[in-house]
Amino acid sequence: MIAHFPKPQRDELLGSILARFIKRQGIRDDKIALDILFGNRKIVPSPLLQGHIGELHANIGHLWQVEPADVVERHTLLPLFKPFIPAGRYKMLQTNLVELALNTGTLRSGINASILKWPSQYHICPECWREQVQSQGYTYWQRLFQCPGVESCPDHGGKLYNSGVSLSSDRRHQFVGTDSVHIPSNKDINSEHKKLQLSSMVRQLLDQPLPSVTLLQWSTFYLRLAKMADCLDGARINHLKITHQVQSYWKRGWLDSHGLGLQEKPNWLTAMFRKHRRPFTYLQHIAVWLALYPEQKRAAEIIAEAKTLPELCVPLHQSRYKQSESDETKTEKREAWKQILTADKELTLKAIRQTPQGARLYSWLYRFDNQWLLRILAQLEHRFW
Ligand SMILES: [Zn+2]
């Protein structure tokens, strides 16, 4: 039974805690370390989303009294995605990390994270690093600095430094610690204000348990944000103006380098201001908040606000179909439908839908003018059934 386990530091990655344990115990064989920690020699370390936490807990629970789910929350990157995906799906991913490992496929489909540019090497803040040495006598990998998009330290205001240590070890079963890092002696270059704000926002997502907000609540949220940012033309969202604002705030180079480029049409930003059919990542949300929110707000405030909103019921995706945008079109479609009905009073609904024009009209009305169509059909029920 394990007799000593290192004290986990706030915001330390789980793999970093385990690497410190292995070093202190003087264990040289990766598989022996796995056996002691997990009771399972087949585990492959995953620096940012370490799984098999239940097995770990069975072996060290007596020394580190924490629920496995809390280990996920405090020492992996998963909580970054929580506010942006449905609660049930988040729970599923969390359970996955506790019981097994989260494979990339599950992660991709679960949080739609494939647009993120995941780091290949660990990043550190040289100032934090010096403080760790002074106060603890050792260093560790900080979770915040490995999050895609985070380029500066919110505490010291400086740019992060690439440690040169790869996130994927040459040794398949090794937990990688901080031993080989040599920090630069030159003074930090101050980071831009907006990048610091972004880092702070990411930290706010990691630091506190935040609620999940449904996709349709986010849809309502972005409709309101468009209004607040003066990006509505009447009832219609001005996507061009939104794109322009986001692009001029972040600059094209930055957006491209983070996988957030807006050159394609339609792009992720346009999709964000329509009805949400899939989740967006924290980086997309934060990039938009910082560029469009009229005043500075904390991530928790914004998420709490979104959580209180009703789910979007107006089908925003209508805007994809130009003809559906005007009331005129609606009137035309209704008229055309009525004409078919009056032209041949014996015609059944089935027969109408078998003609190309009837089928087109029916599916349009069904989608965009559903209430009206159902009312008409109800009135004519005797004719149709
Ligand atoms: Zn720092």
Q: Are 313 and 344 spatial neighbours (Cβ–Cβ below 8 Å)?
A: no
Q: Which residue has the higher pLDDT, 315 or 134?
A: 134
- Ligand 1 centre and the CA of 188: distance in Å? 10
Positive or negative, the Cα torsion across 353, 358, 359, 365? negative
* pLDDT tens track for 269-302: 999 999 888 899 999 999 999 999 878 889 999 9
- Ligand 1 centre and the CA of 285: distance in Å? 24
Place of tokens 């986990």: 8
**185 confidence band (pLDDT: 50, 70, 90):** low
Which token pair is 326? 């005007």
Q: Judge whether residue 336 has pLDDT over 80.
A: yes
- Count of C-beta atoms within a 10 Å radius of residue 142: 25
Q: Which residue has the higher pLDDT, 26 or 374?
A: 26
Q: Judge whether residue 137 has pLDDT over 90.
A: yes
Query: Average pLDDT in the 129-135 region?
Result: 94
Contacts of 80 (CB under 8 A, 6+ apart): 147, 202, 205, 206, 282
- Ligand 1 centre and the CA of 156: distance in Å? 5
Q: Are 167 and 47 spatial neighbours (Cβ–Cβ below 8 Å)?
A: yes
- Ligand 1 centre and the CA of 173: distance in Å? 30
Q: Which residue has the higher pLDDT, 382 or 96?
A: 96
Which token pair is 249? 């705030």
pLDDT for the residue 184: 67
Integer Rg of the chain from CA: 27
Q: Are 175 and 19 spatial neighbours (Cβ–Cβ below 8 Å)?
A: yes
- Ligand 1 centre and the CA of 128: distance in Å? 4
Average pLDDT, the chain: 87
Q: Which residue has the higher pLDDT, 210 or 327?
A: 210
Percent of the chain with pLDDT over 70: 90
Domain ranges of the chain: 14-166, 213-319, 321-384
Query: Average pLDDT in the 254-260 region?
Result: 95
pLDDT for the residue 154: 95
- Ligand 1 centre and the CA of 293: distance in Å? 27
- Ligand 1 centre and the CA of 162: distance in Å? 13
- Ligand 1 centre and the CA of 24: distance in Å? 25
* pLDDT tens track for 15-74: 999 999 999 999 999 999 999 999 999 998 999 999 999 999 999 999 999 999 999 999
Q: Which residue has the higher pLDDT, 375 or 272?
A: 272
pLDDT for the residue 321: 44
* pLDDT tens track for 140-151: 999 999 999 999
Q: Which is nearest to 56 in space by CA: 75, 74, 39?
A: 39
pLDDT for the residue 367: 79
**113 confidence band (pLDDT: 50, 70, 90):** confident
- Ligand 1 centre and the CA of 273: distance in Å? 35
- Ligand 1 centre and the CA of 161: distance in Å? 10
Q: CA 314 to CA 114: how far, in whole Å?
A: 29
pLDDT for the residue 320: 45
- Ligand 1 centre and the CA of 74: distance in Å? 19
Question: Can you name the residues that pair with 265 across neighbouring β-strands?
Answer: none
* pLDDT tens track for 294-318: 788 899 999 999 999 998 875 544 4
